[in-house]
Amino acid sequence: MEHTGQHSPLGNHTTLVEFILIGFSDVPNLQGFLFGTFLIIYIVILTGNTLIIIITKVDPSLQTPMYFFLGNFSLLEICYVSVTLPRILADLCRQNRSISFVTCAFQMDIFVSFGSTECLILTAMAYDRYVAICNPLMYPVIMNQRLCVQLAIACWITGILVPIGPTHMIFSSPFCKSNELNHFFCDVPPVVQLACGDTFLIETIIYVITTLNITVPFLLILVSYGNIISTILKLPSATGRAKAFSTCSSHLIVVVLFFGSGISVYMEPKSTISTGIDKYLSLFYTILIPMFNPIIYCLRNKDVMMALKKLLQKTNVS
């Protein structure tokens, strides 16, 4: 495909003004099916996470730090998915899948911001469970409302600030290769692949930031759960152990799914990247996991199910 851009007077590079998102163009016969499937998934994500936000705000029994962070996480999921999925749905309905250079940079920055914030919120949720189970007598003192709000604000602000520098570096680089982006949206690895020249510095910075923002939180969560599991196993009551495990299992499942897929994409060296595999793996952490999250938290949490039933009963009565 021809470059869509202008020739720079500084050299033989092309200044791109847009990318072409390949998306699902390689499976034209599945466009209608995929549109219907993704639309249903988007509705499920919006509905499920909105219900969690509502019940964690209105139900008195859910006014605890754990559900405060869960409400934040559900809001994040809605934002996170809305950066990419509406665009994917639109592209499935049209032939022109071009995305402007500026829009692509903006989408990447916002997508990485919400992803980074999710990593930090999941870490805060793990810390909450750690204090609740390993230091229950001090839990109300340590996890007070002020600390919870401060942690949430810190997670959001840090997540927003993280991608600004790397995004600026990536889109300040010359792009002299094809403007075809073999992806569904402007994610970091496929855009970096189109940059020409020596991208070692950019890749190094991305690797360092990924390590700090994904691997370190993941390790902190694993350490927290190591202590949590050790404490649970020492509980004398089998009922107590089962209850403690049930309050943590939902969060642990989400952590493993989200961090596992994220690390596999962002920590992989550029030279070994299989764009096709990574493209479809990205659907896992951008669409499927956000769909599973409200299902996991609702079905595996009796308190959430009870609050949801009460809300539905009130709605029916009114």
Residue 146 has pLDDT above 90, yes or no: yes
Mean pLDDT of 8-26: 67
Q: Distance between CA 144 and CA 125 in Å, rounded?
A: 14
Neighbours of 88 (CB within 10 A): 22
pLDDT, tens only, 292-315: 888 877 766 777 778 878 877 777
Residue 182 has pLDDT above 80, yes or no: yes
Q: What angle do CA 233, 237, 239 make, to 5 degrees?
A: 100
Binning pLDDT at 50, 70 and 90, where does residue 274 land?
low
Query: Which DSSP category does 175 fall into?
Result: B
Mean pLDDT of 232-243: 81
Q: Which residue has the higher pLDDT, 294 or 172?
A: 172
Residue 184 has pLDDT above 80, yes or no: yes
Residue 187 one-letter amino acid: D
Domain boundaries, the chain: 13-317
What CATH number labels 13-317? Answer: 1.20.1070.10
pLDDT, tens only, 86-105: 999 999 988 788 999 999 99
Binning pLDDT at 50, 70 and 90, where does residue 4 land?
very low
Residue 104 three-state SS = helix
Strand partners, 181: 21
Residue 2 has pLDDT above 90, yes or no: no
In angstroms, the Cα distances linking 300 to 54, 213, 250 are 18, 28, 6
Six-digit token pair at 20? 């072409």
pLDDT, tens only, 247-256: 777 788 888 8
Task: Decide: 81 and 286 in contact? Cβ < 8 Å.
Answer: yes
Residue 317 has pLDDT above 80, yes or no: no
Task: Decide: 287 and 92 in contact? Cβ < 8 Å.
Answer: no
Burial of 290 (0-12, 13-18, 19+ CB in 10 A): buried
